[in-house]
Amino acid sequence: MKRVAFFRAINVGGHNKIPMAALRAALGEAGLSGIRTLIQTGNVVFESSLTDAEAEHLIREVSVAEFGVDTPVIIRSRTQIADALDVHPWAPGDFEPKFHQIHFLAAAPDSVLADRLSERAHTEDSP
């Protein structure tokens, strides 16, 4: 199954440096296939029969062993990414894409944090 691994905070401000070509090679040696990366972001498209938890663990182990970088990895499928876009509150063209982000959390936030986020969402500038 094809999925995306999102690394948290690599290649930012000179910290947690991981060269993408070396990462692709290391992940291939670890058994993943169809590996592609997006510039220096740490976003990795890959294919594997591993579960999400197994893939997250494997990718994080490779990151630590090969590059000395221990940072969280979040796996999302094409369907999960498409679902996030489907529930997006603004229509295409109603926002400037370069100022827009979607974030994935490793786990659901507790109810207090979710309520705080929901309150803030109504105060943000929107089209």
Binning pLDDT at 50, 70 and 90, where does residue 124 land? low
Helix (H) or strand (E) holding 23: helix 20-29
Q: Could you give the count of Cα atoms lying within 13 Å of 104 in the half-sphere of its Cβ? A: 19
Indicate whether 106 belongs to any domain: no
Whether 97 has a pLDDT exceeding 70, the answer reads yes
Round to whole Å and give the CA distance between 25 and 55.
16
Q: Which domain holds residue 52?
A: 2-80
Q: Which of 79, 80, 60 is nearest to 70 (CA)?
A: 60
pLDDT at 122: 55
What pairing do the DSSP bridges indicate for beta strands 33-37 and 2-7?
Answer: unpaired
pLDDT in tens, 73-88: 999 999 998 888 888 7
Indicate whether 33 belongs to any domain: yes
Report phi then psi at 87, rounded to 5. -95, 10
CATH of the domain at 63: 3.30.70.1280
Please report, for residues 6, 94, 101, the alpha-carbon distance to residue 88 in angstroms, rounded to integers and kept in the order given. Answer: 19, 11, 11
pLDDT at 127: 46
Indicate whether 40 belongs to any domain: yes
Q: What is the DSSP letter of 124?
A: S
Task: Using the Cα atoms of residue 109, residue 115, residue 121 and residue 124 in order, give the sign of their dihedral.
Answer: negative
Indicate whether 109 belongs to any domain: no
What's the total number of domains in the chain? 1
On whether the CB atoms of residues 17 and 10 are closer than 8 A, the answer is: yes
pLDDT at 11: 75
pLDDT in tens, 11-59: 777 788 888 899 999 999 999 999 999 877 778 999 999 999 999 999 9
Indicate whether 102 belongs to any domain: no
pTM over 0.85: no
Indicate whether 125 belongs to any domain: no
